[in-house]
Structure 1
């Protein structure tokens, strides 16, 4: 009798394990300030990114994917909540509020991590959080994550040899770190090590890893071994423009180091035998900041970080999922950060418990019929005053505070060089109505100029 009970228990455990493993693991790799043109598979000629290029050649490359915002904080909030910046609780960086106080992600906010945890996933974030600036109420463990290792605040994440990092709810000081002399533990390396551990420890259960790398955000810093491939290319002789070339060498080295470590992550999935059951997404939180033209980081696009022109919000996006995504495929599906929430829920087999602004792009990944957005919307308040933008099909409108609306046809003018609002007044009015109706009021993020725009 005891033997029979033990046998039935074993069979039940095996069945449970098989059922659990049928749920797709999700790794979402979000890098910081990487431009649309910073990768070889998107046209980069100088920076070596062989691992990500291989990921694209074996997966799917999106050509019209958009960040949640043109700066870090609101972009990440959009990713986590499934809401664009007209509805999201966080619409600007920490000090960009009318109160002067940071607005954190409310503890009560439903996040994609909470939804996946509800679906039986083990959830972790490694890297940059930035959603708990004021206090610890909005730390990752209160937002659906089982594990956190990394930067709590934005400013802390501007340094690669930081004085302070966090593990779960506990701060610690990395031993031997000296940011001024770039000595100690390079934070990116520790994030990669922790990510590999997380994957290893959770390989037999469904997991969600949000890997929020800080490369290539300023400050420019990388260990010397990652600079070596770029030191004999003439850049240090002034041919790079702007300075003696050392900054460009460092920038390229940072991206190549990140590329190398993404290759290590994919190798680990293969060695564990879970690559076919793991969707890996690679993207950036907004457009580039550092490049002055040498790398052509924004590719054919106008603008960069802090702009709502394409260069500020259109970003590289690669999805890798062996045996599910057609190898070497490219998609022009118009999608955005707020689509990840419903996509993850669909993968996990749960209905979103809140209404989002997103549409699952799982049909695109699997080669099926894809529902489309009626429009995409962004807003940001920067030095020029608030800016709003909307995209509807081939049309893109940008509205600066107290200035006439600008209109562009992206099918004919991807670089947004020709404002055609005057020659297309009906279309301009249509998009202006969308801009006016797409948002809800938020007293912390008013659509009027204010002087508190100082945080990167």
Structure 2
């Protein structure tokens, strides 16, 4: 074989194996996916946060890749997590809204026959574990994580109990276990700490011979705002303006700003400890760690600048509700300091995980693997024709589409809004009147991107 043919053959092999050749063999990496709950794009240091300290999350960004155009599956928790697990956007997903926002007010779970990323990775020989907030088994039946590809589960099946940090019960696999807690009094074991302990236990029993997938879905910093005092202390003598919090469904601590900062920093501290454990176990170099959030922030009114330059927050389909932080570290594959403007979303994770594991997805997916973007290989990275979202709570049904630099938002019964994100990332200037043909194109994309679902009709529900 001459040199040219040799290089061509070698290139084909590398492409087929994802470029992963270590010590003369191809190895499947471990995957740790860390999901924050209601953390805004601007709540982390690598995206400009100056008040809240997130050094360990920032290290993931510094030592790996940052995606500046990554989007959540939805602007609220349930459908966003469905998109992440099933690889479908909310125009095709089985869960398109939070539990009671359905045609009959009854919760809908992911379908029994619908493959999840965990089920896909099981086919590739992965051990799998989910810890934290699942939120896709409201009916406590076929959609429990242990019935959807996860070997182990510890946390919340449903949304409601996940609103509290001192719950009286959590789930271990398919059974509830009691905790020595008083929820309203906020006494006992802080559930975030239990999630971290479970993650430690799981990682501690892993080895280099068997790849694993850990889905660590923290509930920080979702309402309610409460955290042990030691996490507030670094922020209590900075002269911050106070924000008193009222008790209701959520048993908030009295002061919001120091509590919110303390919650995020506690999560950051524990992520740092997890990274150290991976290193101690000799697993860190061949482990892909992804950190992101399920949707935009809920708490901030400007003090933390949680949404950065973006308009809106949780429950909006403007950028502040769906444009989220994303950092990924994988020393064997990702060059430190990689920064990508590749446009990606939650439904891309399933095909990405399959790509990395060396299998073809069985799931019908709206996603595109972003593995090449992680490696900084922009030429080889495929792009979406568009990204699509829909959402239907009190403000009535609304749709959004992003295509290249263009973003459109349309509330049912109202004219479409059009924005050029390259010039107006804050979506301040609706230019639909200046570009009527582009606006029409975006309307067509909205109409063609969804299938009808009797559980989620495109009409006002309440």
Report the counterpart of residue 378 of structure 1 in structure 2. 389
Candidates 51, 69, 85, aligned match of 1:80: 85
SS of the residue aligned with 2:410? strand
Report the counterpart of residue 144 of structure 1 in structure 2. 149
Candidates 218, 226, 229, aligned match of 1:221: 226
Q: Is 350-359 or 122-131 further displaced after alignment?
A: 350-359
Q: Which aligned pairs between 1:147-162 and structure 2 lie closer than 5 A?
A: 147-162=152-167
CA–CA distance in structure 2, aligned partners of residues 242 and 380 of structure 1:
31
Note the C-alpha offset of 1:323. 3.2
SS of the residue aligned with 2:349? helix
Candidates 353, 365, 375, aligned match of 2:362: 353
Runs of 4+ in 1 over 6 A off after TM superposition: 18-21, 242-245
The answer for unaligned runs of 5 or more in structure 2 is 1-22, 246-252
TM-score by length of 1: 0.92
Report the counterpart of residue 301 of structure 1 in structure 2. 310
1:184 and 2:188 matched: yes
CA–CA distance in structure 1, aligned partners of residues 440 and 349 of structure 2:
30
Report the counterpart of residue 205 of structure 2 in structure 1. 201
CA contact (8 A) 1:68 1:79 kept: yes
Could you say what the CA RMSD is over the residues aligned between the two structures, in angstroms?
1.5
CA contact (8 A) 2:401 2:446 kept: yes
Distance 1:163 1:436, change over 3 A: same
Q: Which aligned pairs between 1:222-371 and structure 2 lie closer than 5 A?
A: 222-235=227-240, 239-240=241-242, 246-368=255-377, 369-371=380-382
Question: What CA deviation, in whole Å up to 9, does each residue of 1:155-206 have, x standing for no partner?
Answer: 01000000110000010111x2012221111000000010011111122310
CA–CA distance in structure 1, aligned partners of residues 160 and 403 of structure 2:
35
Question: What CA deviation, in whole Å up to 9, does each residue of 1:334-354 have, x standing for no partner?
Answer: 000000000000111111113
Give the total of aligned pairs: 430
SS of the residue aligned with 1:341? helix
Note the C-alpha offset of 1:21. 8.6
Candidates 62, 68, 75, aligned match of 1:70: 75
Report the counterpart of residue 14 of structure 2 in structure 1. none
CA–CA distance in structure 1, aligned partners of residues 436 and 254 of structure 2:
47
CA–CA distance in structure 2, aligned partners of residues 19 and 125 of structure 1:
32
1:402 and 2:413 matched: yes
CA–CA distance in structure 2, aligned partners of residues 249 and 435 of structure 1:
41
Report the counterpart of residue 35 of structure 2 in structure 1. 30
CA–CA distance in structure 1, aligned partners of residues 393 and 174 of structure 2:
32
1:95 and 2:100 matched: yes
Note the C-alpha offset of 1:154. 0.3
Note the C-alpha offset of 1:301. 0.2
Note the C-alpha offset of 1:365. 1.1
CA contact (8 A) 2:351 2:369 kept: yes
Question: What CA deviation, in whole Å up to 9, does each residue of 1:365-417 have, x standing for no partner?
Answer: 12222111010000000211001000000000001010000000000000000
Report the counterpart of residue 425 of structure 2 in structure 1. 414
Question: What CA deviation, in whole Å up to 9, does each residue of 1:412-453 have, x standing for no partner?
Answer: 0000000000111000000000001100000110110011xx
Q: Which aligned pairs between 1:43-58 and structure 2 lie closer than 5 A?
A: 43-58=48-63
Report the counterpart of residue 12 of structure 1 in structure 2. none
Q: Is 30-39 or 202-211 further displaced after alignment?
A: 202-211
Distance 1:445 1:47, change over 3 A: same
CA contact (8 A) 2:107 2:139 kept: yes
Report the counterpart of residue 5 of structure 1 in structure 2. none
Distance 1:66 1:450, change over 3 A: same
Question: What CA deviation, in whole Å up to 9, does each residue of 1:231-275 have, x standing for no partner?
Answer: 00112xxx2456798211000000000000000110011101111
Note the C-alpha offset of 1:138. 1.1
SS of the residue aligned with 2:61? helix
SS of the residue aligned with 1:351? coil
SS of the residue aligned with 1:41? helix
Note the C-alpha offset of 1:20. 10
TM-score by length of 2: 0.91
CA contact (8 A) 2:386 2:404 kept: yes
Note the C-alpha offset of 1:19. 11
Question: What CA deviation, in whole Å up to 9, does each residue of 1:101-127 have, x standing for no partner?
Answer: 100111221111100001100001000
SS of the residue aligned with 1:37? helix
CA–CA distance in structure 2, aligned partners of residues 207 and 271 of structure 1:
16
1:437 and 2:441 matched: no
The answer for unaligned runs of 5 or more in structure 1 is 1-17, 452-456
